Amino acid sequence: MSPGRDAIRVVLFDYGHTLVDFRRVPEALVRAYEDIRALLERHVSHELPRAEELAHQVTGAMDVLVHESYVQGRLQELDVIQLLEDAFAGIGIELGPDLAQELVVIDHRAFTESITVPDGTLEVLQALADRGLRMGLVSNITLLPDLLRADLAALGLARFLSAMAFSSEVGWRKPDRRIFQWVLDRLGASPAEAVFVGDRLRDDIAGARAVGMRTVLTRQFRDELAGPERAEALRIRPEELNGLVPDHDIPTLGDLPDLLGDWGS
């Protein structure tokens, strides 16, 4: 353990591309939108696009709205039901809140089928739990928190996580300190007792460091420490990258237990 630093009692993780891999499954999206289209046929009088085209139009519009909010540096999270309403309104279909809620649940099925837990991840979490470390999750995501918790339970991850903070529930995205503090408060831990593990320099590393946590960057799915494209990906000037150096970086999550052992967890 580094001199003058508290022992680590808590490990917080990012979700996508840290604990899970995420790759859209086009077939799953089309299946979900076949059901969405069938439901909409009972509510609209005009002809609807085929399921594949409907999925492309609606998810494309939602992706644009979310992307624009990140480019603008917005830290307050968007409402996924309103997002879906706006996306459908853009193609001439007006949804009420109740119908939009029903469609969001169906749409979420495609997300559920797109996430996988990499080999070794559950073993890493079990190793940390065996050491008496408490764990939590901090995720930037627009999706409904109850559905996300169900996904985590089905994947075998929820049993290791004593607290979960989704920006869709807390209201604020990383790197805003409030979403980190929300989890720390529920775990009864100070920032000095916690380490944050994530794959993004700006959202994960800079955000957690600003709160006072130690930080670990995992490079298993993307590497924002290497390559000329990293500044563009972070939307910051190259000279600013020096302020976003993690305390440590690891090739895979499997390297985390040894690192924490060296730190004296």
Query: Which one of 69-73, 146-150, 232-236 scores highest in mean pLDDT?
Result: 146-150
pLDDT band at 6 (very low <50, low <70, confident <90, very high): confident
pLDDT digits over 58-91, tens only? 999 999 999 999 989 899 999 999 999 999 999 9
For the chain, the three-class secondary structure string (H helix, E strand, C coil) is CCCCCCCCCEEEECCECCCEEECCCHHHHHHHHHHHHHHHCCCCCCCCCCHHHHHHHHHHHHHHHHHHHHHCCCCECCCHHHHHHHHHHCCCCCCCHHHHHHHHHHHHHHHHCCEECCCCHHHHHHHHHHCCCEEEEEECCCCCHHHHHHHHHHCCCHHHCCEEEEHHHHCECCCCHHHHHHHHHHHCCCHHHEEEEECCHHHHHHHHHHHCCEEEEECCCCCCCCCCCHHHHHCCCHHHHHHHCCCEEECCHHHHHHHHHHHCC
pLDDT, residue 245, reads: 85
Confidence check: pLDDT of 263 > 70: yes
- Superfamily of the domain at 10-22+116-263: HAD superfamily/HAD-like (3.40.50.1000)
pLDDT, residue 46, reads: 81
Look at the pTM and tell me if it is higher than 0.85: yes
Confidence check: pLDDT of 241 > 50: yes
